[in-house]
Amino acid sequence: MKRDSRLSSVLHALLHMAGQDRPMTSDELAACMRTNPVVVRRTMGLLRQAGLVSSERGHSGGWRIKADLAAVTLRQLHEALGEPTVFAIGNRHETPDCLVEQSVNAVLDEAFAQAEALLLERFASVTLADLSAEFTRRFKEIKAPER
């Protein structure tokens, strides 16, 4: 199954943008992420709708982070992307007539709901600032390994 990698993509993009003072263009971000600038616009457009980034057209235009890095959680980004389906596994029929299947669905749904709740809770606990710190930590580790 083809997995939705937009959350991963926008995080990558936002962290690169965070290190810049000037706006970054869709072409620059696309080059970073090995994708197409139109895909970048489409995805970043969703973040703009959520008020997390802004875009400017014309010369020296591009994308800018609008929010405080410490105030943006992965969960907000997930929501900005339209809360895409989390699981690649699911029930065969959503509202079956068969009582057996209803029972199966109920039990599976409960398990999936718990796992999704945990995932979203984890997402809510991580901010862009945290990610940035994680990057800094890794960067230092590479420059001064085996301390």
CB of 115 to DNA, least distance (A): 18
58 lies in the binding site for DNA (CB under 7 A)? yes
Q: Which two tokens stand for residue 143?
A: 């420059």
Residues 108/87, Cβ–Cβ less than 8 Å? no
Task: Please identify, using beta-carbon distances, which residue of 60 and 85 lies nearer to a second copy.
Answer: 85
* DSSP secondary structure string for all residues of 6-25: HHHHHHHHHHHHHT-SSPBP
16 lies in the binding site for DNA (CB under 7 A)? no
Residue 63's binding partner out of a second copy, DNA, none, with CB under 5 to 8 Å set by partner kind: DNA
Contact residue for DNA among 17, 47, 52, 63 (CB under 7 A): 63
Residue 62 phi, psi (nearest 5): 140, -155
List, in order, residues 6 or more apart from 107 with CB less than 8 Å away.
Answer: none
48 lies in the binding site for DNA (CB under 7 A)? yes
39 lies in the binding site for DNA (CB under 7 A)? yes
CB of 145 to DNA, least distance (A): 32
Q: How far apart, in whole angstroms, are the C-alpha atoms of residue 120 and residue 12?
A: 19
Residues 53/63, Cβ–Cβ less than 8 Å? yes
CB of 8 to a second copy, least distance (A): 5
Residue 41's binding partner out of DNA, a second copy, none, with CB under 5 to 8 Å set by partner kind: DNA
Task: Please identify, using beta-carbon distances, which residue of 12 and 41 lies nearer to DNA.
Answer: 41
